[in-house]
Amino acid sequence: MTKLTALVIKWVLIALALAGVLWVATQLAIAGYTMAVIVAGMLGIGILAVYGTRRNVPLKYLLPGMLLLVAFQLWPIIFTASLSLTNYGDGHLISKEETVTDIIAQSVREVPDSPRYRMSVATKEGASATTGDLVLLLTKPDDTMFVGDTGGLEPLPADGVEKTTTGKITKAPGYTILTAREVNARSKDLSALAVPTGDGGGIKPVGLSEAFEGKPSVTYDASADRLTDSSTTPPTVFEPKNARWVSTADPSVAFPQGWQENVGFANFTRIFTDETLRAGFVKIFIWNVVFAVVSVLSTFLLGMLIALLFNDPRLKGKAIYRSLLILPYALPGFITALVWRGMFNQDYGLINGALGLNVDWLGSPWGAKAAILITNLWLGFPYMFIVCTGALQSIPRDVREAAIIDGANAFRTLRSIIMPLLLVAVGPLLIASFAFNFNNFGLIYLLTKGGPFDGNDTSIGSSDLLITYAYRLAFSGSAPNYGFAAAVSVVIFIIVALMTIPAFRQTKALEEVN
Amino acid sequence: MSTVNAPVPADPRLETRVDAAVGRHTETPDRGGLGKRVWWRHLLGILALVWALFPIVFIYSAATNPSGTLNTASLLPSGFSLSNFDKLFSDPARPYWSWYRNSMIISGVGALAAVFIGACAAFAFSRLRFTGRRPGMLALLLLQMFPAMLALVALYVTFAKIGDVLPAFGLNTSIGLILAYLGGAMGSNVWLLKGYFDTVPKELDEAATVDGASHARIFFTITLRLVMPILVTVFMLVFVGLYGEFMLASIFLTDVENQTLGVGLYGMTLGNDANQFFGQFAAGALLASIPVVALYLAFQKQLVGGLTQGSVK
């Protein structure tokens, strides 16, 4: 490759990267994220400064990895910490201003003799028909067209738009119009949708192909920070309380829309003061530690014993043994966990069938714990076997011989010579294994999902780890509470750090001996 | 392919730790024996094999079991039938080959990108001298102590927002999931890679510099070729890791067409269908295991070298 071609390739790549950044910046600008546009601009300048000049050679190699690291590892950690101080979650996903516009738009009642719109339900092009935000394509009786969503109403350019004789839009560039069946599937989202119009009114759908414009019954008084609903007699006044609009007359009456709010350390206080949560948290924590310790010890013990078994130069066929013993480790973890779940099935499973037992493995608290430990022993011992074999082979022969000459028997040699050397060698790996198992989400989730659960408490399972508990808080159930889940994650961060950093220090000191 | 099979140097940490503790490292050729016979070792070895292999035999039996349910599956094959495979491939609600393709693409692209990013970073840390080199390496090590999955809530919210603006990179896309995985690309492998990069003689670089080669030329045409064995090792470690990843994939990929093998097969074992679909599930599991098991068996030496350096499953 000549210098010239290399130069051409370099500048083509830089140009492509800059074009990509520009495209992202445009999309961000359209969506109205000013700060993000600035960040994208700085990124573009950064790319040009690093790759377009002859300086900053190390950065040329580090920049791609660093960008990804900052964006998808460092930022999520910082973001988790900041989320843990909020109430972000179901019913608290939007800002306070948005709740006001939303509530007012929701309260729209049809004004007699106001115009009706022909309506088509669509999503932005590329968005999913089942989950994407809904957009209304509207035609007024005078044939002017609009596009409306929760953000407001905008005129729809006539270019490329096709409509039926009645005015219903059937095609519009940039939007995918949903079929009647798809709209039906989302009737709940549709009925919750109201398009705010500039003058305090709103447009709401009626049925699947019409919408009306009306006036809201709720008004907002910005100076007093109160909402007043005049559809009731007497009018109800709502005040902001705990990130929701609550009636001043009857505290049990409130609008469903809440806003995201900074709650300080309330999530953390809740973990440690709420009676049920604290009891549950302590229970989960104890099992989490027991699980990690027993997993590491059992896999290490079995792996070491098998390594010792095969640590005999006269033994033939060691390569075959090793290839076969590595298989549990080689299979993808999700497969083995799911297969073991099938084998632990109380009624049909292999284990109860073959051993003539009738243990409710996955349905009873102790059975589930035993099943998890057995499965993890099977999953993890090949790793320890490999590691121990490597360490045993690096123990010099003459050290053992010296022990034998000094009159030590096989057991004594093992205990006083081999074990200490082995532990020095594999110590850091045991700690890493502990840290890994402490957050072994996949195994627990696939095997028991954290269950079984006590009859009346569905939030804390008897085989839950902290990580599966945090996951359930955030992603399952009808009311995800991201803020609280983030707080639990932060607590796990701190626990893991407190437990592993001193251990790593210890082994660092060992390593620095040489 | 010759470079592919070059052995990875045995774990320096394992040996140096032992050497340091022993105080010497000469090996005498004379091999004194412990124990008189080896037959009992074979006996226990076969016992270990039975323990290690019975679930795998069970997968095979269940996959080829003609009736295809969990309650009729036995440890040893009770007959041979491909009906479970037929059902698996023809089930429109469970697009098995799409899952397979998604898994291969996500793991393959993710591993390739991770190796490239890691190799670039390792080259900088091993060959170039700059302020912040040592703190940078230590910071990477420290960051690895915090499992990225603990930040899953934030990752989810971040990608939901990205998807609002750039639908091609958001939730429910392979690209989004790969990006999320690549956050850890530099950190997790850079120490392993740098260790190997350090073993390539610096004199080669210096000679090339004297001949007028630029740093990029040295990197692409000299260094990358010489470190190929470790690149292969890291590629496989990352590939296997991503192939088996379940948690992020299950949060990110909600549409059945976009799912990976892990998420899809998991869906087959849920609820009341578990018994009925067990044969199909086992057939899918058997096929899904083939790529990684083949990789493991073909590249055992390299993987063992890489594993002992601290990658833990």
pLDDT tens digit string along A465-494? 988 888 887 777 667 888 888 888 888 888
Give the position of tokens 């970073």.
B121
Q: Which structure tokens are listed for A267?
A: 């999530």
**Nearest-angstrom CA–CA distance, A394 and A259:** 61
Give me the domain span that covers residue B56. 37-81
Look at residue B255 and tell me whether its pLDDT is greater than 70.
yes
Q: Which structure tokens are listed for A449?
A: 């999902």
Domain boundary among B81, B114, B147: B81
Task: Give the single-character DSSP code of A415.
Answer: I
Output A472-480 pairs: Cβ under 8 A, ≥24 positions apart: A474/B152, A474/B153, A474/B156, A475/B156, A475/B251, A478/A90, A479/A89, A479/A90, A479/A91, A480/A89, A480/A90
Q: What is the 3-state secondary structure (H, E, C) of A202-270?
A: EEEEECCCEEEEEEECEEEECCCCEEEECCCCCCEEEEEECCEEEECCCCCCEEEEEECCECCCHHHHH
Look at residue A169 and tell me whether its pLDDT is greater than 90.
no
Output B28-33 pairs: Cβ under 8 A, ≥24 positions apart: B28/A396, B28/A397, B28/A398, B28/A401, B30/A397, B30/A401, B31/A313, B31/A397, B32/A397, B32/A400, B32/A401, B32/A404, B33/A312, B33/A314
Query: Domains of chain A: which residue ranges?
Result: 3-83, 96-216, 272-511
Confidence of residue B102 (pLDDT cuts 50, 70, 90): very high
> Euclidean distance between the first and final Cα of chain A, in Å?
45
Of A130, A89, A81, whose CA–CA distance to A476 is shortest?
Answer: A89
Q: Is residue B110 part of a domain?
A: yes
Confidence of residue A414 (pLDDT cuts 50, 70, 90): confident
d(CA A111, nearest CA chain B) in Å: 34
Instruction: Write the pLDDT tens digit of every residue in B291-301.
Output: 988 888 888 77
Q: Is residue B18 part of a domain?
A: no
Q: Is residue B7 part of a domain?
A: no
Do B176 and B130 lie in one domain? The reply is yes
Helix (H) or strand (E) holding A380: helix A365-393
Identify whether A234 is preceded by a cis peptide bond (ω within 30 of 0): yes
More confident residue, A288 or A168: A288
Q: Is residue B89 part of a domain?
A: no
Do B110 and B147 lie in one domain? The reply is yes
The number of helix segments (H) and strand segments (E) in chain B equals 17, 0
Of A285, A75, A478, whose CA–CA distance to B184 is shortest?
Answer: A75
Q: Is residue B205 part of a domain?
A: yes
Give just the sign of the alpha carbon dihedral B207, B213, B218, B219.
Answer: positive
Q: What average pLDDT does range B64-78 have in this prediction?
A: 75
Look at residue B11 and tell me whether its pLDDT is greater than 60.
no
Instruction: Write the pLDDT tens digit of every residue in A325-352.
Output: 888 888 888 888 888 988 888 777 788 8
Do B151 and B268 lie in one domain? The reply is yes
Look at residue A324 and tell me whether its pLDDT is greater than 70.
yes
Listed in sequence order, the DSSP H helices in B128-151 are 133-144
Using CA atoms, how far residue B139 sits from A15, A111, A349, B132, B190, in Å, is 32, 63, 47, 10, 12
Write down the CATH number for the domain with range A96-216.
2.40.430.10
Write down the CATH number for the domain with range A272-511.
1.10.3720.10
Percent of chain A residues topping a pLDDT of 70: 96
Question: What pLDDT score was predicted for residue A211?
Answer: 84
**Contact residues, A window 268-307, toward B, CB-based 8 Å cutoff:** 306
- Which member of B41, B45, B244 has the closest CB to residue A332? B244
More confident residue, A305 or B138: A305
Q: Which of A57, A67, A68 to mutate to test the interface with B (most CBs of B within 10 A)?
A: A68
Do B161 and B255 lie in one domain? The reply is yes
CA angle A478, A473, A94 (to 5 degrees): 65
Q: Which structure tokens are listed for A292?
A: 């990690």
Question: What pLDDT score was predicted for residue B27?
Answer: 42
Look at residue B7 and tell me whether its pLDDT is greater than 70.
no
Q: Which of B24, B150, B254 to mutate to test the interface with A (most CBs of A within 10 A)?
A: B150
d(CA B70, nearest CA chain A) in Å: 6
**Nearest-angstrom CA–CA distance, A497 and A65:** 24
Q: Which structure tokens are listed for B250?
A: 């299950």
Q: What average pLDDT does range B190-219 have in this prediction?
A: 86
Instruction: Write the pLDDT tens digit of every residue in A244-284.
Output: 888 888 878 888 788 888 888 888 888 888 887 888 888 89
Residue B252 φ/ψ, nearest 5 degrees: -75, -45
Look at residue A140 and tell me whether its pLDDT is greater than 50.
yes
Domain boundary among B81, B113, B141: B81
CA A169 vs. chain centroid, Å, equals 38
**Nearest-angstrom CA–CA distance, A465 and A447:** 12
Confidence of residue B1 (pLDDT cuts 50, 70, 90): very low
Tell me the DSSP string of B36-51: S-SHHHHHHHHHHHHH
Mean residue pLDDT across chain B: 80
Question: Which of A239-248, A340-349, A367-376 holds the top average pLDDT?
Answer: A367-376
**Nearest-angstrom CA–CA distance, B275 and B296:** 31
**Nearest-angstrom CA–CA distance, B38 and B22:** 28
- Which member of B28, B145, B281 has the closest CB to residue A398? B28
Mean residue pLDDT across chain A: 83
**Contact residues, A window 78-137, toward B, CB-based 8 Å cutoff:** 79-80, 83, 88, 124, 126-128, 131
Q: What average pLDDT does range A198-220 have in this prediction?
A: 79
Q: Is residue B86 part of a domain?
A: no
Q: How many domains does chain B have?
A: 2
Can you give the CATH number for the domain in which B180 is found?
1.10.3720.10
Residue contact B55–A391, C-beta within 8 A:
no
A205-209, A353-357, A361-365, B35-39: lowest mean pLDDT where? Answer: B35-39
Q: Is residue B20 part of a domain?
A: no
Domain boundary among B81, B115, B135: B81
Do B222 and B121 lie in one domain? The reply is yes
Look at residue A128 and tell me whether its pLDDT is greater than 90.
no
Q: Is residue B283 part of a domain?
A: yes
**Contact residues, A window 399-438, toward B, CB-based 8 Å cutoff:** 399-401, 404, 410, 413, 420-421, 424-429, 432-433, 435-436
**Nearest-angstrom CA–CA distance, A21 and A12:** 14
Residue A27 φ/ψ, nearest 5 degrees: -60, -40
A75-84, B2-11, B135-144: lowest mean pLDDT where? Answer: B2-11
**Nearest-angstrom CA–CA distance, A321 and B50:** 11
Do B153 and B59 lie in one domain? The reply is no
Question: What pLDDT score was predicted for residue A1?
Answer: 63
Contact A261, A245 (CB under 8 A): no
Do B144 and B228 lie in one domain? The reply is yes
Using CA atoms, how far residue A442 sits from A71, A336, A445, B192, in Å, is 24, 11, 5, 25
Do B176 and B301 lie in one domain? The reply is yes
Question: What pLDDT score was predicted for residue A381?
Answer: 92
